[in-house]
């Protein structure tokens, strides 16, 4: 059990009732897991999903798989789509044939859904590049997936690789409308290596070209902030006086070694414009460690957003929950940290733990506190964490091993979703060394 100590003033009988109920609940949950099967995919790594909101239950979700071969810098990696796997959960997963994208990549990251880049066209974004010689040169691709049997990818980066000694690669991005009347542009985290050595991390704006040229011309890049992020990022809006809103961005850096919050603020202290670089501000919520993954969610069901981060390490990794200050997100000293768990890799030398995370309600009612799923990466296991109570002041979770894949495995990616509408959630886990994506189902009764 993890988190801070929680004190109540119940009677002894009430405490015993709660304890018995908790034990019975956890026992039931622990026995609700079913391995549905596996899909073989060499070097399977990060996972993400695509939702077709107009489709029926078993047709609604598809899974993207980005592969990664970090043992061979001269190799190229691929991206696949597992097309509507909910159709095959009734013992037919062996029939699934992942569909490869039209090109090969240098260490692709999580595939992101990019709706409405061009009206009427279904698109996703793939950033690539990584810190391995041979894969340092990165790009951002937009892929047209309207017809998954004829996927076409476009490199939209403006190629800042000025010479053989300077390389840029990308880790995450999202579409952001910088002005009320403007089209959405791209904010991305970018890492710069010089002569094979890390140099800096950047928050970058990629400005879309004129209409009709979104796929054929580069999106012009501008560095907004230095040493800001080189891993994941996401936006959050907060209320401000006079019906205004603060437009903030949270981001993490594995090389920059910090959890950052960025925003635009005018001289009078009111919300500013992201179009004016002089108004952009950044503060480090925490720093000095390798921050990797990042999720925004109300984890304790108090109707306020929290930030969950994974910190990777060869000796002392962790998963942490950070409470955002209720009155002012800019009040850095008011952020509160809760450590969910700590990790130590047990696989090959140089591996790190933990890795990707996912947060999901596992009952059909979607109420109360969600569960937390964690890919152990070099730990060789996948985990899930069950809240010990529904009290917002209780940050404790019970730790469960979803599966143990062995000391040599790199458990890279996670996705959680009810794929066929039967009320049970499916958990996808990617195994990089084994080269497979395993699928589990959880059937949990609504309380």
In a domain, 374, yes or no: yes
How confident is the model over 322-369, as pLDDT tens digits? 999 999 999 999 999 999 999 988 866 668 999 999 999 987 777 899
Q: Which residues pair with 308 in a beta bridge?
A: 295, 321
pLDDT at 1 over 70: no
Q: How far apart are the first and last CA of the chain?
A: 21
CB 122: neighbour CB atoms within 10 A? 18
| Contact call for residues 247 and 264 (beta carbons, < 8 A) | yes
Structural domains of the chain, count: 1
pLDDT at 389 over 90: yes
The predicted pLDDT at position 18 comes to: 46
**Gap between the Cα atoms of 61 and 47, Å rounded:** 13
Least confident of 116-120, 272-276, 287-291, 337-341: 116-120
- Mean predicted lDDT score pLDDT of the chain: 89
In a domain, 4, yes or no: no
Token output for 386? 């069950």
In a domain, 105, yes or no: yes
DSSP 164: T
| Contact call for residues 327 and 267 (beta carbons, < 8 A) | no
In a domain, 6, yes or no: no
At residue 208 the predicted structure's pLDDT band, cuts being 50, 70 and 90, is very high
Give the DSSP per-residue string, 80-104.
EEE--GGGGTTT-GGG--PEEPSS-
Range of the domain at 225: 12-442
CATH number at residue 323: 2.130.10
Burial of residue 19, with CB atoms counted within 10 A of its CB: 0-12 exposed, 13-18 middle, 19 or more buried: exposed
In a domain, 7, yes or no: no
The predicted pLDDT at position 181 comes to: 64
**Gap between the Cα atoms of 81 and 358, Å rounded:** 19
In a domain, 376, yes or no: yes
**Gap between the Cα atoms of 309 and 299, Å rounded:** 12
In a domain, 269, yes or no: yes
The predicted pLDDT at position 24 comes to: 44
Token output for 77? 């990696």
Token output for 8? 């109540």
| Contact call for residues 185 and 206 (beta carbons, < 8 A) | yes
How confident is the model over 220-263, as pLDDT tens digits? 999 999 999 999 999 999 999 888 999 999 999 999 999 999 99
pLDDT at 87 over 90: yes
Element (H, E) at 30: helix 12-30
Give the DSSP per-residue string, 105-154.
BSS----EE-TTSSTT--EEEEE---SSTTS----EEEEE-SSTTS-EEE
Give the DSSP per-residue string, 247-264.
EEEEEEETTTTEEEEEEE
For the chain, the maximum distance between any two Cα atoms, rounded to a whole number of angstroms, is: 73
**Gap between the Cα atoms of 419 and 60, Å rounded:** 7
The predicted pLDDT at position 91 comes to: 84
Is the model more confident about 162 or about 117? 117
| Contact call for residues 388 and 356 (beta carbons, < 8 A) | no
Is the model more confident about 26 or about 313? 313
In a domain, 417, yes or no: yes
């Amino acid at each position: 059990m993890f988190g801070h100590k929680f004190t109540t003033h119940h009677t002894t009988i009430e405490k015993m009732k709660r304890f018995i109920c908790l034990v019975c609940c956890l026992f039931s949950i622990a026995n609700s897991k079913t391995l549905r099967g596996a899909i073989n995919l060499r070097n399977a790594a990060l996972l993400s999903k695509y939702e077709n909101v107009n489709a029926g239950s078993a047709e609604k979700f598809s899974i993207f798989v980005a592969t990664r071969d970090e043992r061979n810098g001269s190799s190229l990696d691929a991206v696949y789509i597992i097309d509507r796997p909910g159709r095959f959960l009734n013992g037919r997963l062996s029939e699934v044939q992942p569909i490869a994208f039209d090109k090969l990549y240098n260490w692709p990251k999580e595939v992101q859904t990019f709706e409405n880049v061009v009206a009427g066209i279904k698109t996703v974004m793939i950033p690539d590049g990584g810190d391995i010689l041979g894969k340092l040169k990165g790009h951002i691709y937009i892929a047209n997936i309207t017809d998954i049997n004829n996927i076409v990818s476009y490199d939209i980066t403006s190629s800042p690789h000025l010479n053989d000694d300077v390389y840029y690669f990308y880790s995450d991005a999202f579409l952001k409308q910088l002005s009320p009347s403007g089209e959405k542009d791209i904010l991305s985290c970018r890492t710069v290596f010089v002569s094979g050595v890390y140099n800096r991390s950047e928050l970058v704006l990629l400005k879309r070209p004129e209409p009709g040229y979104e796929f054929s011309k580069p999106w012009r890049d501008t560095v907004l902030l230095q040493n800001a992020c080189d891993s994941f990022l996401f936006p959050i809006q907060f209320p401000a006086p006079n019906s205004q809103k603060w437009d903030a961005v949270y981001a993490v850096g594995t090389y920059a070694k910090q959890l950052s919050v960025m925003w635009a603020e005018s001289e009078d202290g009111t919300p500013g414009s992201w179009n004016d670089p002089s108004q952009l501000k950044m503060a480090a919520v925490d720093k000095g460690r390798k921050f990797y993954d990042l999720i925004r969610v109300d984890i304790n069901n108090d109707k306020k957003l929290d930030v969950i981060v994974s910190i990777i390490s060869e000796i002392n990794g962790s998963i942490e929950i950070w409470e955002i200050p209720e009155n002012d997100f800019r009040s850095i000293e008011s952020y509160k940290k809760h450590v969910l768990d700590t990790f130590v890799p047990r696989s090959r030398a140089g591996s790190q733990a933990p890795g990707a995370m996912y947060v999901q309600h596992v009952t059909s009612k979607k109420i109360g506190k969600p569960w937390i799923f964690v890919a152990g990466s070099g730990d060789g296991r996948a985990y899930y964490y069950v809240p010990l109570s529904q009290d917002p002041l209780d940050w404790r979770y019970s730790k469960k091993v979803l599966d143990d894949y062995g000391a040599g495995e790199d458990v890279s990616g996670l996705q959680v979703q009810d794929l066929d509408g039967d009320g049970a959630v499916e958990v996808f886990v990617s195994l990089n060394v084994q080269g497979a994506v395993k699928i589990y189902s959880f059937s949990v009764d609504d309380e």
